[in-house]
Amino acid sequence: MYRIFASLLLITALGAALPATAAVDDAVTAQAMDVTLQQMIPLRDGVHLAAAIWKPAIMTKPLPVVMVLTPYIRQEGQTRAAKFTQAGYIYVTVDVRGRGDSEGVYKPLWGNGPDGADVVEWLAKQPWCDGRVVTHGGSYRGMVQWQIMAQHPKHLVAAIPTASVYPGYDFPVTHGVEFPYEAQWLAFTSGKTSNEAVFNDGKYWQAKGEALYEAGKPYADFAETAGANKAAFLEWIDHHGYDSYWAAYNPTPKQYAGIDIPILTITGYFDGDQPGALRYYREFMQNASAHAKAQHYLLMGPWDHPGTRYPQKQLNGLTFADNSVLDIDQLQIDWLNWVLKGGKRPEAISDRVNYYAWGEGADEWRHAPTLEGLTSRTQKLYFSSPDSDASDPYHAGQLVDAPQKDEQADGFVSDPSKPRSHASLEAENNIQDSQVNPFDAFGGNRVVYMSQPLAEAETLAGWPRIVVNASMDTPDVDLFAEIQVVSPDGKTVVLGTDVLRARFKDREHEQLVKQGAIDSYAFDGFYYMVHRISKGSRLRVIVTPVDDPGAERNYNSGGRLAYEKASDARVSHVSVHLDAAHPSWLELPLAP
């Protein structure tokens, strides 16, 4: 779990640790640009935001503006701007309210829509702008674009939201669970300056998280590490569910319905903000007009969060083909040239949905008119445990085609008073190493189910799902699930992970567990994936309690979340039911 939370979901979230841009060609130099380092842009309430403006050194006519609204200080645009100005665009980065040299009070994640709309309209009126403004940027900057689009500014003509965080859904809380990374990120964006050095000191933050975890202190104590944004941390942890507080940050159905511009959404299979990026995408497609939907393009590659801007061949022990690495900046320029200037359509965006299939015999870009069309069928594999012992690889349960009639429940124990060892955490970090026993990572406290070898190769295409019918003897508990593929040669590949807090099983409404009652818990937060699984491979599912310093600790007492402490801890005995009346299963979305 720690491996997944830290490396895939947390450290990469919001894109804060990214370099300003990838290297550009030697021919693109600062001499080709004119730079205005500080331009103050007025907003409707009298506050001014600070912008940096990059223009081609020689301009014979007004040009479209590509605009980024960022909390990471506007200087970050310097190198990327060279590419865009060389391509005939003006590039502008703007400090969000209260950050950098911008006036006003900074409220993390909030208020960017009206501010950004005002900036769009100001830019459009400048003599060097041709009246067309495009929004750009990833992670927080991707979220900002959706907030701006929801305001329907007149002169916004296109948007490229990339790896977009969705407040309350994938950050700073997911399925009722908060993560210490939120304090790290708040410290990074505290005050007016960058605070980049302390943010990037991973050992410091890991030590802070482990100290809190091992001391059994309330999670709320982590607010002390959040710098000037302690108040934001304390406000966020009062909203573990996706309630009206978080909904106010995000577009409404009516606002989606009013958006009608070309949009290019970019995300990755391992992108920590893929859940957010695809939630925006799906909500837009559910509410927008037919004309608007026809202009929305999706690009998904085998990338993590930084890789949505700077793809790499190697990631978390996996190696992808050369064709998985795209020049994202150039692709975005080519797309803008197509939708704004009548240029050639980029081959990589040859249909509305553009995705990379990886795995045995795949490793290629594919294209489709809809995301839903990638999944042609689903297959359920039911948990079975004939020996009533599914706790390790030698007594693992089975994944079978039909629910079993009268099988006894399996189970495990969540004991938050006993922190896990560093040895098991290290095992998690190396789970994709073929020399590491993947079960050592879970300390012997889990249930495991494994399929028979696949008779034929299959292509996973969509969101996997696990449904567990469970009962427990405490008012709450945190649960973790992982899906693995074990190839014929024994190599283990993690296809996905998910976490849920029992009292937030439907994400929106908090309801304590009725102790002893059997209820259905859906792990529906696995990432979208298109992966070819080879013949002879076996699928493996692991379900275990959440117990690591990479996540907020739940003491199972049913008390006020984030304020419970070790003295409140209750041991939870969790039963995973397998009988025909209460089956548990893995659901796989499959391609033709």
| pLDDT tens digits, one per residue of 218-240 | 999 999 988 889 999 999 999 99
User: Per-residue pLDDT for 21 more than 50?
Assistant: no
User: Per-residue pLDDT for 388 more than 90?
Assistant: no
Residue 302 and residue 308: Cα distance in Å, rounded? 9
Q: Does residue 73 contact residue 66 with C-beta atoms inside 8 Å?
A: no
- Kindly report the CA angle at 356 between 354 and 361, in degrees rounded to 5? 135
Q: Does residue 451 contact residue 538 with C-beta atoms inside 8 Å?
A: yes
pLDDT in tens, 298-311: 999 999 999 999 99
User: β-strand 353-359 against 296-304: which pairing, if any?
Assistant: parallel
Q: Report residue 140 as tokens.
A: 């927080």
Mean pLDDT of 372-391: 90
Q: Where are the beta strands (DSSP E) in 513-571?
A: 519-523, 529-533, 538-545
pLDDT at 4: 38
Cα-to-chain-centroid distance, residue 433: 24
Average pLDDT, the chain: 90
Which 3-state string (H, E, C) describes 363-382?
A: CEEEEECCCHHHCCEEEEEE
Say how many CA atoms lie within 13 Å of 507 toward its Cβ: 15
pLDDT at 592: 84
Q: Tell me phi and psi for residue 395, to 5 degrees.
A: -130, 35
Number of Cβ atoms within 10 Å of the Cβ of 109 = 24
CATH 3.40.50.1820 fits 2-176+240-285, yes or no: yes
pLDDT in tens, 551-592: 999 999 999 999 999 999 999 999 999 999 999 999 999 998
pLDDT at 112: 97
Residue 555 and residue 561: Cα distance in Å, rounded? 9
Beta bridge pairs of residue 167: 171
Residue 290 and residue 369: Cα distance in Å, rounded? 13
Q: Does residue 263 contact residue 297 with C-beta atoms inside 8 Å?
A: yes
Say how many CA atoms lie within 13 Å of 286 toward its Cβ: 10
Q: Report residue 461 as tokens.
A: 């295409």
pLDDT at 430: 52
CATH 3.40.50.170 fits 377-590, yes or no: no
Kindly list the distances between the CA atom of residue 326 and the CA atoms of 265, 309, 332, 347, 578, in Å, as whole numbers in the listed order. 15, 9, 11, 12, 45
pLDDT at 386: 85
pLDDT at 83: 95
Cβ neighbourhood burial of 101 (10 Å; 0-12, 13-18, 19+):
middle
Mean pLDDT of 363-389: 93
Q: Does residue 266 contact residue 163 with C-beta atoms inside 8 Å?
A: yes
N- to C-terminal Cα separation, the chain:
32
* Residue spans per domain, the chain: 2-176+240-285, 377-590
Residue 309 and residue 329: Cα distance in Å, rounded? 7
Rg of the chain's alpha carbons, rounded to an integer?
24
pLDDT in tens, 127-182: 999 999 999 999 999 999 999 999 999 999 999 999 999 999 999 999 999 999 99
The type of residue at 236 is W
Q: Does residue 562 contact residue 234 with C-beta atoms inside 8 Å?
A: no
Helix then strand count (H, E) for the chain reads 14, 27
Q: Does residue 555 contact residue 565 with C-beta atoms inside 8 Å?
A: yes
Nearest CA to 471 among 390, 581, 380?
A: 581
Residue 142 and residue 15: Cα distance in Å, rounded? 10
Q: Report residue 488 as tokens.
A: 């014929």
- The larger pLDDT score, comparing residue 485 to residue 549, is at 485
Mean pLDDT of 456-461: 96
- The larger pLDDT score, comparing residue 435 to residue 204, is at 204
pTM of the model: 0.93
Kindly list the distances between the CA atom of residue 36 and the CA atoms of 19, 49, 56, 160, 194, in Å, as whole numbers in the listed order. 21, 14, 12, 24, 20
Q: What is the DSSP string of 154-165?
A: TTEEEEEEES--
Any idea which residue has 């037919």 for tokens? 290
Q: Express the helix, strand and coil content of the chain in percent, nearest 5 each.
A: 30, 30, 45
Give the number of residues written for the chain.
Answer: 592
Cα-to-chain-centroid distance, residue 478: 20
Query: pLDDT band at 396, cuts 50/70/90?
Result: confident
pLDDT at 290: 98
In three-state secondary structure terms, 528 is coil
